[in-house]
Amino acid sequence: MKKNLLSLSVLAIAVLILTACPYASKVPIDVAGVKIQKELLGKWVKAGDQEKENPEYFVISPIGDVKYNIVKNEYNTYDSAYKQTIYISHISKVDNLSFMNMQQDGKGDYYLYKIDLGSDEFTLFELTDNIDEKFNTSEELKAFVQKNMNLSFFYNKDEERYIKSN
């Protein structure tokens, strides 16, 4: 009985981890063309982690005039060290909303997030992984985003807020 309960617990955790991913697309919402926003550059600590000894954080720097180098730093207690994941990103504007198009190591699929930039903070909203449609062009994807971006179920429930750090 304990063995079955342990197996079910491991399966439930795996399902939760695997279902908490943003939508991935072969194409970005738009080509890189929105100028770098200087307010977005710097070190950003995950809200609620500021007092932790080893908080999760991003370091965002520019690549040219329209792209960002984003280094996500997550502390691994097993190794007692930070694990870094590098993303190359650009912002797409759809009406009055901004979206991040993020590629891990600048290759492969684009992970898509709505971003709300405030005064010394930003919030990321993952596009839901429940989107079944696949898009061959950015124009098709942008039209789909524009049609659905104001619907609450277009985003996963977990939003992440980051605070600017010195």
Domain ranges of the chain: 23-165
Are 135 and 25 contacting, i.e. CB atoms less than 8 angstroms apart?
yes
Q: Residue 46, Cβ neighbours under 10 Å: how many?
A: 18
Characterize 76-86 residue by residue with b for buried, 16 or more Cβ atoms within 10 angstroms of its Cβ, and e for exposed.
eeeeeeeeeee
pLDDT range class, residue 20, cuts 50, 70, 90: low
pLDDT range class, residue 164, cuts 50, 70, 90: very high
Residue 104: name the closest of 84, 124, 85, 90 by CA. Answer: 85
CA distance 41 to 64: 13
Are 23 and 125 contacting, i.e. CB atoms less than 8 angstroms apart?
no
Residue 63: name the closest of 98, 106, 22 by CA. Answer: 106
If you average pLDDT over every residue of the chain, what do you get?
A: 88
Are 128 and 156 contacting, i.e. CB atoms less than 8 angstroms apart?
yes
* pLDDT tens readout for residues 35-84: 999 999 999 999 988 889 999 999 999 999 999 999 999 999 999 999 99
Q: Does domain 23-165 have CATH number 3.30.1330?
A: no
**What pTM value is reported for the model?**
0.83
